[in-house]
Copies of this chain bind each other. A is one copy, B any other.
Amino acid sequence: MASLAEKREAIAEEPVADPQARPEELRLLEALLFASSEPLDTATLAKRMPEGVDVKAALAQLQADYAPRGVNLVRIANKWTFRTAGDLAWLMTRESTETRRLSRAAIEVLAIIAYHQPVTRAEIEEIRGVVTSKGTLDVLLETGWIRPRGRRKTPGRPLTFGTTEAFLSQFSLEALGDLPGLEELKGTGMLDTRLPTGFTVPTPSDDPTLREDEDPLEPGDLELTLAPAPEPESGSGEGGDAA
Do residues B70 and A29 form an inter-chain contact, with CB atoms below 8 A?
Answer: yes
Copies in the complex: 2
Choice from B8, B14, B82, B95 contacting A68 with Cβ under 8 Å: B14
| Minimal beta-carbon separation of A12 from chain B (angstroms) | 6
Chain B residues, Cβ within 8 Å of A21 = 68
Q: Is A75 an interface residue (CB 8 A)?
A: yes
Do residues B178 and A3 form an inter-chain contact, with CB atoms below 8 A?
Answer: yes
Chain B residues, Cβ within 8 Å of A35 = 84, 92, 95
What interface size band does chain A fall in? 35 or more
Cross-chain pairs A/B with CB under 8 angstroms, 12 sampled: A1-B178, A4-B74, A4-B173, A7-B75, A11-B74, A27-B85, A30-B71, A31-B71, A31-B92, A32-B92, A34-B34, A48-B91
| Minimal beta-carbon separation of A73 from chain B (angstroms) | 8
Q: Besides A4-B74, A8-B74, A15-B68, 13 other CB < 8 A contacts? A: A1-B177, A4-B75, A8-B236, A11-B63, A14-B64, A18-B68, A19-B68, A22-B68, A22-B69, A30-B71, A31-B88, A34-B70, A34-B82
